[in-house]
Amino acid sequence: MQTINKLLVVIEPELMESLALKRAKQIAEKIGVPLHLLICDKENKHSSLLHVVVAALKTEGFTVTSECAWHESKHQTIIRTQQDNNCGLVIKQHLPDNPLKKLLLTPEDWKLLRYCPSPVLLAKKAQAWEGGVVLAAVDVGNDDADHMELHKSIVDHGFQIANLVKGNLHVISAFPAPMLAAVEAAYPIETEYEAIYRKACEGFQAQYDIESSRLHVEEGPADVIIPRVAKQLDAAVTVIGTVARTGFSGALIGNTAEVVIDTLESDILVLKPQEMTRHLEKLASKR
């Protein structure tokens, strides 16, 4: 969080209260960075609202710039603005998508998570982060280079946020149930796979100096386990990674970060590996 130089805040004119702006103000006060406000507006109908919000923020002592813009779609507008203004974090309020519409069309927030080069914070809760639980979600079972880099980034960001807000960092890792074919009477209840996974978690715990009481290792689908543990802990924010899967495989399989954004009852900070970030920056520069 300390490396962020500017926050891009997406303002939704139709909302009575902007959770994105509320969260951005809290973060900006902590790390001392300016705000850039964006309304995705095809017809420039909301410039007056933007001027009012900017004036109020300046009165409160914030350094702020703003614009109304539109580039083909909402997620493309956000990404273009993030790149043009060199914003290190995008903050946007997330509203649940219509389930039927989600089956037919890829939600805009999913596209934003897939294609935005910078980290994205989806605001969902009104309560402040101060003194709350920061939940870092990792997949210890994946030890390829991208996931190992993501693990470090997720835990580092989790520690930084917890320190900023004087909160507590917890880490969650879900491992899949063994294949039914492997579950036979000859196998003990705790399968060899589970034992290997838990051993890997012990190494992860030692590497990042995480207390046992704050490491949660559970069997089941990550998109079920992560929201459940977040709710149990009343997490203020969940930090999660994505490898930004796109194309046909992304449409069929989806990414855990995308699947959980409707079910998580916390704010969600989504990170990507550096190689993916560089690739997305190149794509964005060509538009």
| Per-residue pLDDT tens over the stretch 36-47 | 999 999 888 888
What local confidence, expressed as pLDDT, does residue 79 receive? 96
pLDDT confidence of residue 83: 95
Q: What's the confidence (pLDDT) of residue 184?
A: 44
Domain spans in the chain, listed from the N-terminal domain onward? 1-93, 127-287
State both tokens at 146. Answer: 């991208």
Residue 183's pLDDT is what? Answer: 46
- State residue 94's pLDDT score: 93
Same fold, 1-93 and 127-287: yes
pLDDT for res 287: 66
Taking the model in full, what pTM does it have? 0.88
Q: What is the pLDDT of residue 186?
A: 46
Amino acid 273: pLDDT? 80
Q: What kind of fold does domain 127-287 have according to CATH?
A: Rossmann fold (3.40.50)
Check if the beta carbon of residue 260 is closer than 8 Å to that of residue 240: yes
Q: What is the pLDDT of residue 3?
A: 77
Superfamily of the domain at 1-93: HUPs (3.40.50.620)
Q: Which residues of the chain have pLDDT under 70?
A: 1-2, 99-104, 177-193, 244-254, 286-287
For residues 5 and 92, what is the distance between their CA atoms, to the nearest angstrom?
17
